[in-house]
Amino acid sequence: MHIPWCVRKCPYCDFNSHAASNKIPEQAYIKALIADLQQDQKWAQGRKLTSIFFGGGTPSLFSAAGIGQILNAAERLIGFERDIEITLEANPGTAEQEKFSGFRSAGVNRLSIGIQSFNHQHLLQLGRIHDGAQALSAIETARRAGFDNFNLDLMHGLSGQTVDQARSDLQQAIESSATHISWYQLTIEPNTEFYSRPPQLPEEDALVDIQQAGMALLDEHSYRQYEVSAFAQQGQRSQHNMNYWQFGDYLGVGAGAHGKITMPAENCILRISKTRQPDNYLARDPLTLAQQNPIVVNELAVEFMMNGLRLRDGLSADYFTPRTGLPASSIAKQVAKLQSQGLLEVGDRRYQATPLGYQFLNSLLQGFS
């Protein structure tokens, strides 16, 4: 579920987000979301939802009642599995106790809080609207609202950042009792303010030192890396993330949302994307609302592996044929070659990057292209 508005566009952000200049048209957008979901209902093919992720933008700008409306419609139209995970992204600058309590009552059972850093200077560089004290306050607010399962987003490799500063960010996240930490390196992406005016980032050796020190600290406190930038306490891996990385199907609802749907009868896998501009999305123009593109056959294997091999444990070889429509024999030569190069291992019916392969993941993936 994509909610595209935010208070201010961050200079590093390449997501489909739009600064809210006036009042957000919440009810009109909710109506469009529900109509979109109703249109996509057929793609569920009788399956119930196992997870919902409200991304943005800043979904916490919406009212708790509005989020409740969307969840009620999703349950009515498609249905929820009993243990459904419902995550909502929130920014510390928009954290309010009453609103967080309302989200929890509406059915949201997991928060993802965009901290990025607790360091005031780094937050200023990143164009964030909160400071370190507000970040800590937002975490406490989430706990008081009843959220015992929450993720914190943190960046590293920031301009002028030292190893000690990166460790300090992680230490504060650990002390908050977060169940999940997403710790990822700042990258400069096209179509961002940072791309036009790039900041001075740490040298490669410094980045390696930060990465090694941070991963050691996380491991010391039982945050196990299960994906390139995802670290979780025991039993707290994100269901939504796991489905995505295991090349599962998902619906994309909202302006700029993307979905992936397997059509077994047609022997086809579709990528579905919705129009990015909120005004066009609200207008519900059928010519611009959604595009459907089948994944071409010779790209299926690399897409499957591009997702699954990011997982530290790899993924089941038994997923390959049901989720690509291809026989395992179609990649036998590539698998054998990558095994001989020490980049891939296949044991217990799993495809898994070796430690060397995980270090050189792009080289490993090129072996399937």
The pLDDT value recorded for residue 218 is 98
Task: Read off the pLDDT of residues 203-217 as tens digits, 9 standing for 90 and up.
Answer: 999 999 999 999 999
Q: For 240, how many CA atoms within 13 A lie in the half-sphere containing its CB?
A: 21
- Same topology between domain 2-244 and domain 258-366: no
The pLDDT value recorded for residue 367 is 95
- How many CB atoms neighbour CB 276 within 10 A? 15
Superfamily classification of domain 2-244: Aldolase class I (3.20.20.70)
Q: For 121, how many CA atoms within 13 A lie in the half-sphere containing its CB?
A: 7
**Stretches in the chain below the pLDDT threshold 50:** none
The pLDDT value recorded for residue 94 is 73
pTM: 0.95
Name the token pair of 188.
């400069």
90, 58 in Cβ contact below 8 A? Answer: yes
* SS3 track for the chain: CEECEECCCCCCCCCCCEECCCCCCHHHHHHHHHHHHHHHHHHHCCCCEEEEEEEECCHHHCCHHHHHHHHHHHHHHCCEEEEEEEEEEECHHHCCHHHHHHHHHHCCCEEEEEEECCCHHHHHHCCCCCCHHHHHHHHHHHHHCCCCCEEEEEEECCCCCCHHHHHHHHHHHHHCCCCEEEEEECCCCCCCHHHHCCCCCCCHHHHHHHHHHHHHHHHHCCCEEEECCEEECCCCCCHHHHHHHCCCCECCCECCCEEEEEEHHHCEEEEEEECCCHHHHHHCCHHHHEEEEECCHHHHHHHHHHHHCCECCCEEHHHHHHHHCCCHHHHHHHHHHHHHCCCEEEECCEEEECHHHHHCHHHHHHCCC
Cα dihedral sign for 59, 64, 65, 71? positive
Beta bridge partners of 264: none
Region 258-366: CATH code: 1.10.10
Peptide bond into 57 cis (omega under 30): yes
Alpha-carbon gap, residue 79 to 102, rounded angstroms: 22
Written as one letter, the residue type at 259 is: G
The pLDDT value recorded for residue 137 is 93
Measured between its terminal Cα atoms, the distance across the chain in Å is 31
Phi, psi for residue 196 in degrees, rounded to 5: -75, -35
Cα dihedral sign for 32, 36, 39, 45? negative
The pLDDT value recorded for residue 339 is 97
Nearest to 276 by CA among 57, 44, 69, 84: 57
Alpha-carbon gap, residue 290 to 76, rounded angstroms: 23
The pLDDT value recorded for residue 286 is 65
Domain boundaries, the chain: 2-244, 258-366
